Chain A
Amino acid sequence: MSRPEASPKSYARGREPEASVALALLATMRRDLLALLRRPGAAFNSLAFFALVITLFPIGISPDPELLATIAPGLLWVAALLAALLSLDGMFRDDFADGTLEQLLLAAQPLPLMALAKVAVHWLTTGLPLALMAPVLGVMLSLPPGSYAVLVLSLALGSATLSVIGAIGAALTVGLSRGGVLLSLLVLPLYVPVLIFGAGAVQAAIAGTSVAAHLALLGALLAVSLVFAPWAIAASLRISLNG
């Protein structure tokens, strides 16, 4: 770790690339988590939004448990998806405003990887909590027993893809003053496959059929987006910052 203190003329040239990338990734994740911890409101908001939307449906449709049970998988998934979407806009916005995003782009580390660190923090602070909270709301919607584990698993897996793909939209709109609505317009069509396989997994669990195919496809979506999206996020960030 330690390095002799650099005298003004022996300029630090950075360390071995791999070590320095790992160090930078960890430092960035630590910094973002710390910043969120100091202001937990943002992460809490999307959870509250999730609960609120779920509350609206029985009021708007019917309190009939049987009806709710049939639509619960879809409702839970759509509401979680919207809650994740709501928090996307903030993924890069603070960093953009305070100039740290500009500095991130100037770092010698590869930007796609560094962007992925920020995506990971987003998932840890929104997608994962949403997935963990979903069973409680499932009970309120009379979600049939036996599908709860699949609900959590599909949401945890699917929301990671939502964060990765959503980051492209967030990066494209971070420089726009009113990017929020536009962001939903850009990102929601791309969310369709995740919704289909995610809600499908829960429905399959309720029907008692195999959920393996659904979960495998969700995993495949995550793998594909992890391969392609970081480059798109990096390119979008450069466009938003430097035109």
Chain B
Amino acid sequence: MWAFFHKLASPKGFYAFSARLSPWFWAAAAVLIGAGVVWGLAFAPADYQQGNSFRIIYVHVPAAFLAQSIFVAMALAGLVFMVWKIKLADMAATAMAPLGAGMTFVALLSGAVWGVPTWGTWWQWDARLTSMLILFFLYIGVIALRGAFDGRDSGSRAASVLTMVGVINIPIIKYSVEWWYTLHQPATFSITSRPAMPVEMWLPLLIMVLGFYSFFIAVTLTRTRSVILHRESAKRWVRELAGEDG
């Protein structure tokens, strides 16, 4: 059992293992997102208040979920890297960061687009959008800090510490932004905190969320593989691999 995990935690072992795993997640992501998009956009009923514009929820909510989950995943990877010195964890965190920033951006963009029919403006200082914007800055900070170090190992450690500090702060930021928002705009309704959605509306949403998570795992596996190759390019097994492939 332990030997299996040990092998998995080594870049070489993970590289072989993930090669078998990642196609399944890519396939799952394609099927789920495809089904979710068709169902959500074509068959789910229109919202009685917002009409068809509510359908952007099928992109916005999964993206927002992922944006937060990826940061937590990066923090966990950072913890594993700092405590047990497993370099694979840091490689995974490196691979995840751009996707997380991208998802945050998608959530922001879809929120802004949603704002046009809902509020009549491209941007509203809505509590969720505001904390999403701050999360976006946190992502940029982590990516920039990693890049700012000359030594890769120091950059990895610094990014890990910052991610862990950030993940402790995310709930505090969320809570304080919500408090701020209710103090200033008690009347406006928030785009996603709405009462009971009928089944035919939230089921496609659930499928989309699952699809996005599969997509996240698939992208992480694939990107981690390329980070492994890049970092271990001096190692013999990578050279042999390159030799085999031509």
A→B interface (CB under 8 Å): 168, 172-173, 175-176, 178-179, 182, 185-186, 188-190, 192-193, 196-197, 200, 217, 221, 224, 228-229, 232, 235-236, 239-240, 243
CB of B118 to closest CB in A, whole Å: 24
The 8 lowest CB-CB distance pairs between A and B, nearest first, are A193-B176, A243-B154, A189-B137, A186-B141, A196-B180, A239-B157, A196-B176, A189-B134
Q: How far is the CA of A192 from the CA of B166 in the complex (A)?
A: 12
Closest to B168 in A: A228
How many Å lie between the Cα of A172 and that of B157 in the bound state?
10
Known: A182-B148, A185-B144, A189-B134. A197 touches B176 (CB 8 A): yes
Task: Give the interface centre of B82, B162, B166 by most chain A CB atoms within 10 Å.
Answer: B162
Asked if B169 lies at the interface with its beta carbon under 8 angstroms from chain A, I say yes
**Contact A200-B162, Cβ < 8 Å, known A239-B154, A243-B154:** no
Residue B158, interface by CB 8 Å: yes
Can you list 20 pairs linking A and B with CB atoms under 8 Å apart? A168-B165, A172-B158, A176-B148, A189-B138, A190-B166, A190-B169, A192-B134, A193-B169, A193-B175, A196-B179, A196-B180, A197-B176, A200-B180, A236-B158, A236-B161, A239-B154, A239-B161, A243-B151, A243-B153, A243-B154
**Interface size class, chain B:** 20 to 34
Cβ of A176: which chain B residues have Cβ within 8 Å of it? 148-149
* Interface residue ranges of B178-203 to A (CB < 8 Å): 179-180, 183
Is B145 close to A, CB under 8 A?
yes
- What is the predominant secondary structure among interface residues of chain A facing chain B? helix
Given A176-B149, A189-B134, A196-B179, residue A182 in contact with residue B157 (CB < 8 A)? no
In the assembled complex, B173 has its CB within 8 A of some CB on chain A: yes
Inter-chain contact total with CB atoms closer than 8 Å: 81
Q: Which residues of chain B (56-85) have a CB below 8 Å from chain A?
A: 82
Partner of B161, one of A182, A221, A235: A235
B interface, by DSSP: helix, strand, loop or mixed?
helix
Task: Collect the chain B residues with CB atoms within 8 Å of residue A240's CB.
Answer: 154, 158
> Which residues of A sit under 8 angstroms from B183, Cβ to Cβ?
200
A168, A185, A192, A243: which contacts B177 (Cβ < 8 A)? A192
Q: How far is the CA of A176 from the CA of B137 in the complex (A)?
A: 20
Q: Give chain B residues whose Cβ lies under 8 Å from the Cβ of A188.
A: 137
Which residue of B149, B158, B179 has the most chain A CB atoms within 10 A of its CB atom? B158
**CB of B112 closer than 8 Å to a CB of A:** no
* Docked-complex contact A192 and B161, CB < 8 angstroms: no
> Is B164 an interface residue, CB under 8 A from the partner?
yes
From residue A174, how far is it (CB to closest CB) to chain B in Å?
11
What residues of chain B lie closer than 8 Å to A178, measured between beta carbons? Answer: 148
A232 lies within 8 A of B165 (CB)? yes
B157 and chain A: residue at smallest CB distance: A239
Question: B152 → chain A, closest Cβ, in Å?
Answer: 10
Query: Given that A196-B176, A200-B183, A239-B157 are known contacts, is A173 also in contact with B164, CB under 8 Å in the complex?
Result: no
Q: Is the CB of B169 within 8 A of A186?
A: no
Contact yes or no, B145 A232, CB < 8 A: no
Contact assessment for A232 and B154 in the assembled complex, using a CB-CB cutoff below 8 Å: no
Contacts of B164 in A (CB 8 A): 232
Residues of B within 8 A of A217 (CB): 176
Q: Which of B126-160 contact A (CB under 8 A)?
A: 134-135, 137-138, 140-141, 144-145, 148-149, 151, 153-154, 157-158
Closest to B153 in A: A243
Counting CB contacts under 8 A, is B172 at the interface?
A: yes
